[in-house]
Structure 1
C-alpha cells in the first residue's frame, strides 16, 4: 500500500511536473505567435490606410512640382514596402505611378501578408495540438496516480483492519 502511494507521488512529481513545464513553454510559444499575427494584421490594416492616403495624394496633387513630389513619395514608399515584404516578383513600372498600379502593388503586398498570417496560424494550431495532447496525458497520469493512491490507502486500511482482528 505504501509502495503504491510512493509510485503515485513519483508519477505526479516526475511526469506530470515535466509535462506542465512543456505546457507552459507551449503556451508562451502560442502567445508569441499571437503577437506576430497581431502585428501582421496591424500591418495589413496599415496598408489599407496607406493605399487611401497615396491614392488621395496622387489624385489631388496639382500638375508640376507637387505631382512630381507626390510621385516620388509614393514610388519610394512602395519600393520600401515591396522590399520589406520580400516581393521580388513585383516591381514598380517606370514612369508615373498610376492609381491602378498602386492598388495592384498594395494588393500583392496584402496577399503576401495574408499568406504569412496563414502560415503562422498553422504553426499556432500545431502548438495548440501539442499542448492539448500533453494536457490529456497529464489528466491520464493524474487519474492513474489517484487510483494508485486510493488502492494504496485501501491496502493499508485492509492490513490495519486485519491486524485488529
Structure 2
C-alpha cells in the first residue's frame, strides 16, 4: 500500500481550504457586487418608468384643460400665452392654441415617445432580471463548490489525527 506522508495530506487540506476562501472572497463577492448593481439599476428604471407615467398623465391633464378652456369660447390672451408656454415646456415647441387638432397630434406624439421610453425601460428590466437570475445561480454554484472544498480540506486535515499511532 502506498504511504502518503501526513504533512502532505494536511498541506492538501489546507490548500483546499485556502481555495475555498479565495473563491468566497473574490468570485462570490464580485458576483454579489454585480447583483447589487443590477438591483440598483432596476430600481432606477422603475422610478424612471413611474416618472414617465406622471409626465403622460400631466400632459393629458393639460389637454383636458385646453378642451375645457376652448369649450368656454374665446381664450383670454394672457391665459392663452401662459398655457402655450406650459405646453411648450413639454412638447419642446410653441404651438398656436387656436389649432386644437395640431395640439392634439403633438400631445399624442409626445405621449407615444414617452410610452416607447417606458417600453424600452421595461424590457431592459426584463433582461436585467434574467441576468440577475443567472448571476444568482452562479453565486449558488460557487458557494456549493466553496463548501465542498472546505469539507474536503477539513477532512484531510482531520485525517492527520486518524493516522497517529497510539502510544
Do both share a fold (TM > 0.5)?
Answer: yes
| Larger-Rg structure | 2
User: Which residue in the other structure is 2:91 paired with?
Assistant: 82
Q: 1:37, 1:120 within 8 Å by CA — same for their partners in 2?
A: yes
What's the counterpart of residue 111 of structure 1?
Answer: 112
TM-score, normalised via structure 2 length:
0.78
Aligned equivalents of 2:97, 2:47: Cα separation in 1: 39
**Distance in 2 separating the partners of 1:18 and 1:95:** 56
Within 2, Cα distance between the matches of 1:79 and 1:156?
A: 75
Matches within 5 A, 1:149-164: 149-164=150-165
CA drift at 1:16: 0.6
C-alpha distance in structure 1 between counterparts of 2:162 and 2:71, whole Å? 94
Matches within 5 A, 1:11-22: 11-22=23-34
Further displaced range: 126-135 or 37-46: 126-135
User: How far apart, in 1, do the equivalents of 2:126 and 2:133 lie?
Assistant: 10
Match of 1:121 in 2: 122
Aligned length: 154
Q: Kindly state the Cα deviation for residue 164 of structure 1 after the two structures are TM-superposed.
A: 4.5
SS in 2 for 1:96: coil
RMSD (CA atoms): 2.4
Match of 2:137 in 1: 136
Report the TM-score, using the length of structure 1 for normalisation.
Answer: 0.79
Q: Structure 1 regions of 5+ residues with no counterpart?
A: none
- Please name the residue that 1:96 is paired with: 98
| Structure 2 residues not aligned, in runs of 5+ | 1-12
